A and B are shown apart, each in its own frame.
Chain A
Amino acid sequence: MFANMTENPENINFDVRVTGTTNMTSSLKAYTFAAKGHYYDLTPLAAESAPKLYNKDMEEIMPVADDDDTFLGVERYSGVCVIALERIFFNMAIYGDDLFQNFTPELSGDIGFFFPQAFVKRESVFTQD
């Protein structure tokens, strides 16, 4: 799903270029992509493209699987979904083309610089009550 199109040929249709993201251009009608929360599982090749994210105490937020990955918890025998944790991070990519020049450091032409748009966090868990 989040592998790029050379790693996973099924993603050729979706034009996924960076491992750890998935292209949303056609469904959102904008040059957007989705990543896991706080760029969890982003390929190290794109590490410089991802902005650093800080909390209110100016401490850098590091991605953690428990908070940033998307999970489905399914009861084994019945197949009923009892836990659904969706964490999806929408971004736009700014490429170092004619429009965006003279940046320090320079914007990459292939991967670009990621511009965070929205973080979607939907969580639903069955309670025992």
Chain B
Amino acid sequence: MNTYLRSITVNFGLSGLLMYRTPREVIEGYTDPLVAALAEIPIYMGGDATTSPFLAMNNPPTHPPNNTVAFFTGEDDYEMTRVYGKWLDSEYITMASAEYTSLTNIDNITYSPWAERVLLDGTDGMQFSPVLDTDNPIKAFVNDLSRNCFFDYSYTSDKYAHLDTYMYTI
């Protein structure tokens, strides 16, 4: 009985689960009976009149051809923009880090990863960022010196065949 009722609901209430459309109809548009029926029903009865029942691939109802939304580009006054959210109490995306201001004092700082090169503090020197370049130093903690040390590029070693080994010196 349940199966029969479900079949009745699907085939007569929803005009069937499957539709057969030609490619031209799909591209240029057809009126979908279910959406059309929903558009006829008042909203308090569960209808939805906001979606056009005419479905077309080259003119989808979700892409209105004439909309009245304006984009403020800030060309006249760039300060007339709205702040939607902040990251680390800043309007720009920054990274949180810590910096030694003295031997015993570590201050929390934030800085832009795009403006400054971000180096990992306290690395043990086993792994650095991939695709190294020769212009920037690498940083590693040297136990015997009790400090994070900058290593500058010195030369390229050919110790390992087919591998470029950049030698950095302290």
Contact = CB atoms under 8 A, between A and B. Distances in A.
Interface in A72-96: 72-84, 86, 88
A4 to B, nearest CB: 15
A71 B167 contact: yes
Nearest to B161: A128
B17 interface: no
Given A13-B101, A83-B167, A74 B132 contact: yes
A14 B167 contact: no
B131 A70 contact: no
A53 interface: no
A64 interface: no
Nearest to A90: B144
Interface string B144-162: 1111011100101101100
A128 B160 CA distance: 8
Interface residues of B, number: 35
B130 interface: yes
Contacts, number: 99
B145 A24 contact: yes
B165 interface: yes
A75 B169 contact: no
A30 to B, nearest CB: 13
B100 interface: yes
Contacts of B140: 72
Given A13-B101, A14-B103, A69-B170, A1 B149 contact: yes
Interface of A: 1-2, 13-14, 22, 24, 26-28, 34, 36, 69-84, 86, 88, 120, 122, 125-126, 128
27 contacts: A1-B145, A22-B145, A24-B145, A24-B146, A34-B144, A69-B170, A70-B142, A72-B125, A72-B167, A73-B159, A73-B165, A74-B165, A74-B166, A74-B168, A75-B164, A76-B132, A76-B163, A76-B166, A77-B164, A80-B126, A81-B127, A82-B165, A83-B159, A84-B125, A86-B142, A86-B144, A128-B160
Interface of B: 100-103, 125-132, 138, 140, 142, 144-147, 149-151, 154, 156-157, 159-160, 163-170
**Interchain residue pairs A-B with the least CB separation, the first 5:** A27-B146, A79-B128, A76-B164, A70-B170, A79-B130
